[in-house]
Structure 1
Amino acid sequence: MRIAVAGGTGVVGSVLVEQLRSSGHEVVVLARAAGVDLMTGSGLEHSLDGVEAVVDVLSVATSAAGRATEFFTTTTRTLLEAEYAAGVRHHVLLSIVGIDEIPFGYYVGKVAQEHAVEDGKVPFTILRATQFHEFGAQMIDRAPSIGPVLLVPQMTSAPVAASEVAAELARIAGGVPQGRVPDLRGPREESVPSMTRRVLRKRGSRRPVMTAFLPGKAGKGMRNGGLVPGDGATLGRQTFDEWLEAQA
């Protein structure tokens, strides 16, 4: 089967590409590194020839609602138009648990992206997942700091292995469109500041981590479990500690 992966060089995208290829699928990577710019459509012509399913795992480094919304809606509409023209039968979108309850800028963009998929002409499946185990490490690079002190927002998550998310996306892509499917989460709830601190200690760093409490509805939702799905979610197997222990 010929499957395209939009964002195939990212955290989950690169794992997905590897899994699909090892399963015998022909994979087309849609990313700037592969010469495709989905904001403009440059390099997309003929890339979807013969493609049966497209998996969108694109991301953008911003917390601004306007920029996130522009990025996700533009890339999604560009993809969907090209998919419809090429006869692609299935669009698979990876989204995030809790985005419609927490008005954080990036999540506002993801909600708009889901709506764009739902309004498009290509049959689709949307999978929402919790944060990846790598999220704690990403906080080291993204969170603000005061001197050496890293300020990490108080967030409760149920982190899941990127490899398990990729496996579920690969399974979905090989099947029929299903609309919205059950959320995917990790087996244990974790505090994101604690995750970040444990990653630093694993790396041999004693850098201090301070918990920051974000204001408003978004901060309250993050603190109170808005990023953790309710009953009916699919449960991943690998815990954050197991993932951390496996890191070099």
Structure 2
Amino acid sequence: MRIAVAGATGNIGSLTVAGLERGGHDVVRISRSAGVDLSTGEGLDAALAGVEAVVDAVNVPSADRAETVGLFSGMTRNLLDAEARAGVRHHVLLSIVGIADIEGNVHYAGKREQERLVTEGPVPWTIVPATQFHDFAEMVAGWTEQDGVATIAPLLVQPIAPQDVADILAEIVVGEPRGRYADIAGPETQDLVDLARRTHQARGRDVRLVPTWSGVFGPEMAGNALLPGENARIAPTTFDEWLAKSV
């Protein structure tokens, strides 16, 4: 099966490409390094020739709300329009658990617009909402780390291994469109501050973590806001298993 992966050089995209190729599929990489620019549409028609299904694992850097929403919107529109011209029969979007109920996060605003365009668009679709990835805590702490000190929100999360996300996307894209798929999550609920501490410890780094709600994650994300809903699909890899392999 000929399948395109948008965001093919990113964390999840590259793993999805590898999984699909192991399964014997003909994979088209959609990325600027491959000569395809989603923001302008350049190279899209040629890349999607003969493609039956697409995985959209694109991410964008968060700026202000209007810019972030505009980036997601423009790329998604270009991709969906090109898919319609090419006769693509299945668009699979990787999204995030809980974004419908959280207004203050600009990245989530962009993802909501992306979901809206997909659900109202011309190509049959599946949206796969995932919880945060196992490397999320280390990444968030890295945003603010200075002189061995980092602020981090005390979020309750149920993180999932990137490889498990990619495996699920590769499984879903070869099937029929499913509409909104069940939330996908890892097997354990965790505290983000503790995850960052354990990750730094495993990597031999001494970082003092200061829990706070003053950053990009506000109190509206406290409690169960980021946890998967009922009937979630639980992936097998625990945080400790992922950390042991990643060190």
Identity %: 43
Letter in 1 for 2:130: A
Q: Distance in 2 between matches of 1:31 and 1:24?
A: 21
Q: CA deviation at 1:190?
A: 1.1
| AA in 2 matched with 1:244 | L
Counterparts of 2:37 and 2:138, CA distance in 1 = 27
Whether the 8 Å CA contact 1:94–1:126 is kept in 2: the answer is yes
1:46-195 equivalent positions in 2, closer than 5 A:
46-62=46-62, 64-103=64-103, 104-141=105-142, 143-145=143-145, 147-195=147-195
Deviation (angstroms), 1:65? 2.1
The 4+ residue runs of structure 1 with deviation greater than 6 A are none
Q: Deviations over 1:209-233 (max 9, x none)?
A: 11111489x6223221211012110
Q: 1:76 to 1:228 in 2, by over 3 A?
A: same
Indicate the residue corresponding to 1:234 in structure 2.
Answer: 233
Please give the alpha-carbon distance, in whole angstroms, between the structure 2 residues aligned to 1:31 and 1:10: 9
> Aligned-pair distance for 1:154?
2.0
- Note if contact 1:221-1:227 (Cα within 8 Å) is conserved in structure 2: no
CA distance in 2, matches of 1:202, 1:63: 31
* Paired letter, 1:77: R
Shift of 1:246: 1.4
Where 1:131 maps in the other structure, the secondary structure is coil
Q: RMSD of aligned C-alpha atoms?
A: 1.5
Alpha-carbon distance in 2 for matches of 1:32, 1:201: 36
User: What letter is aligned with 1:7?
Assistant: G
SS at match of 1:127: strand
Q: Secondary structure of 1:60's partner? A: coil
Question: Deviations along 1:11-58, whole A, 9 cap, x unmatched?
Answer: 111110000000000000101121211001122231100100010000
Partners of 2:158 and 2:82 in 1: CA distance: 35
Question: Which consecutive residues of structure 1, in runs of 5 or more, have no partner in the other structure?
Answer: none
Of 81-90 and 54-63, deviating more is 54-63
CA contact (8 A) 1:154 1:222 kept: no
Q: Secondary structure at the match of 2:197?
A: helix
TM-score using structure 2 length: 0.95
Is the 2:152–2:215 Cα contact (8 Å) retained in structure 1?
A: no
